[in-house]
Amino acid sequence: MKPTAVSLFLCASIVLSLTACDRNGAGEGNQFSATYHEGNSNEANNSNTYEDSHDDGPFTKYEKPITVTLGRQGIAGNNLPNGDTLEDNEFLSYVEDRLNVKVNYEFSIEDVDDYNQKVSLAIANNNMPDMMVVNEQQFKEMAGADMLADLTTIYETYSSPLIKDYYKSFSGNRVLNTGRINGKLYGMPNTNIDGNYQLLWVRKDWLDRLKLGLPSSLEDIQTIAQAFKEQDPDQNGKPDTVGLLGDKQIVGDAEFFTFDPVFNQYHSYPKSWFKDADGNVVYGSTTPETKEALIKLRDMYKAGLIDREFLTRKWQDNAALVSGGRAGILFAPWFAGWMLADSVKTDPKAEWVPLAAPLDGDGKRNVVPSAPSGTFLVVKKNAKHPEAALKMLSVQYEGIRLIDPKSHELYKDKIVSWLNYPLNVQLDFQDSLARDIPIYDKVVKDNDLQDMPTRLIQRVNSILKNKKEPKQDITAFADSLAYYTGGAVTGTKEITKVNPIFYGMTETMVKKGTSLHNLENETFLRIITGAAPIEDFDKFVTTWKLSGGDEVTKEVQESLE
């Protein structure tokens, strides 16, 4: 993911679910829904805040103060007020005061590579803090070395209903199960919400100008790409517009300009693991369907329907084509609305619409959901108070979600990231993005903000402001285009989720993953651009298998047994 795309994704993903960029909602980017907040959800039951159902539960304050040690990744570009730090701020004090817990940071390292190196050193020396967040490889290594506390019973006793419901929202316990080893829970996984797959974004004002309808099939997309390239949709008299934008990464979760939807239309799912009709583990990049998709992409590129310069363009170059009014069709996630909004500065008539397209022969837009999790909150085996991790997480999310009335006073009227809470574990409902759409619909219909969750006020204000004065405020327009227009499409009936059987890393993947990825990407790019014949796909499959692919496949199969 390119640097600018990363920033959009982080603001988006920490937005929906958490109050990422502003305590009063300004700039929220990841994905929180109205549930459990201020009584406006059917799931909120009878109160705004949870009460313990027994004497010792998630919100019970320790009679005597306890101290826990924590290691965590720091925050790039921290937006705390002057004088406040990660180790001393209102969010941390809120958690400490509610539970009578003192948090001591053993280390806080901003750079992710340096942080992972520090964690690896702690593992090697068997000298870890009471709790920290680790990646999947580190989690498995620590569990295998018997370094982690068993959280199975602790989770049931000390997790709030909200925390449990986040995990329950993912079908088949597929998120929580990533933290289990041999049936025991050793890590609290983060959750990745649905909706980060690519939508088709297209300039509707250009469609109208050229008398073209909204596309649904791949053939429609090809027709539009050709028209946008050849028929001067911006009417400036210059042959300066391009067709479908592309990216040399080809496919990727939450990526901009990649060709995932074209592959998916052929029931091809590169870089993902599935079982075939005979129950055999198959790598999606090696299937006959992937070969078909590559043939189509090659033909589209040869015909000039795909931007001929996509191989040399950076993310910023593509964004400039969009903002400059030279590109009007591309694949990108819902949060592309923030990037696309800049185009109205060049052309106030620019109108972008997101679509679940292209559809397959059954009228479905097949998508591969994001990996359900990727990081884990772990507690060392001999920690004196292992339950403190779940208690802190439960209290922290009452603050993040503004369920506790006292949390409304934290950094009031200031823009402060939720990441300054002690535990950088992102949790949300699987369908959190789509959950908010009915709220937006009602507000737009009634023009009434009564009982509106605080975290949604800024978004709703943007939506209403843009409705009243379309595109006059670029920020309001961008928020509305992303949260409301783009978010609504992620939950449409055409979307069909194709769940991989495996998301993680195996031993051989760690050793040979980079070389296998490069082999795949270079082969696919050469085929698409015509630099190599389609027969090279079969050679790629053979080479991939001999270069470690067969070993990886065996390891994936064994991990499922």
Q: What is the pLDDT of residues 282-323, one digit of tens each?
A: 999 999 999 999 999 999 999 999 999 999 999 999 999 999
Q: Is pLDDT of 463 > 90?
A: yes
Place of tokens 């922290």: 396
Q: Which DSSP string do the residues of 311-370 spell out, in sequence order?
A: TT--HHHHHHHHHTT---EEEE-GGGHHHHTTHHHH-TT--EEEE--S--TTS-EEE-PP
Q: How many residues does the chain have?
A: 561
Decide: residue 161, CB within 10 A, 0-12 exposed, 13-18 middle, 19+ buried: middle
Per-residue pLDDT tens digits for 402-453: 899 999 899 988 888 899 999 999 999 998 888 999 999 999 999 888 777 7
Q: Could you tell me the residue ranges of all domains in the chain?
A: 18-193+373-420, 196-368+473-501, 505-561
Q: 3-state SS string over 397-415?
A: HHHHCCCCHHHHHCCCCCC
Residues 6 or more apart in contact with residue 533 via CB below 8 angstroms: 527
How far is residue 298 from each of residues 196, 291, 458, 516, measured CA to CA in Å?
26, 10, 44, 22
Retrieve residue 539's tokens.
């050679």
Q: Which fold has domain 18-193+373-420?
A: D-Maltodextrin-Binding Protein; domain 2 (3.40.190)
Amino acid 23 reads R
CATH topology agreement for domains 18-193+373-420 and 196-368+473-501 = yes
Q: How far, in Å, CA of 329 to CA of 300, rounded?
A: 14
Asked if 186 and 179 count as a contact pair (C-beta separation under 8 A), the reply is yes
- As a whole number, the mean pLDDT across the chain is 90
CA-CA-CA-CA torsion sign (93, 94, 98, 101): negative
Q: Which DSSP string do the residues of 136-194 spell out, in sequence order?
A: HHHHHHHHHTT-B---HHHHHHHS-HHHHHHHHTSGGGTTGGGGEETTEE--EE----S
The pLDDT of residue 4 is: 56
Q: How confident is the model at residue 5 (pLDDT cuts 50, 70, 90)?
A: low
Q: How far, in Å, CA of 282 to CA of 557, rounded?
A: 9
Retrieve residue 22's tokens.
């502003």
Q: Is pLDDT of 27 > 60?
A: no
Name beta bridge partners: 283.
Answer: 273
The pLDDT of residue 22 is: 37
CATH number attached to the domain at 196-368+473-501: 3.40.190.10
Closest alpha carbon to 299 in 257, 339, 243: 243
Per-residue pLDDT tens digits for 352-393: 999 999 999 999 999 999 988 999 999 999 999 999 999 999
Q: Is pLDDT of 331 > 90?
A: yes
Beta-carbon-side half-sphere exposure of residue 131 (alpha carbons within 13 Å): 27
Q: Is pLDDT of 526 > 60?
A: yes
Q: Is pLDDT of 205 > 90?
A: yes
Q: Where are the beta strands (DSSP E) in 369-483?
A: 375-379
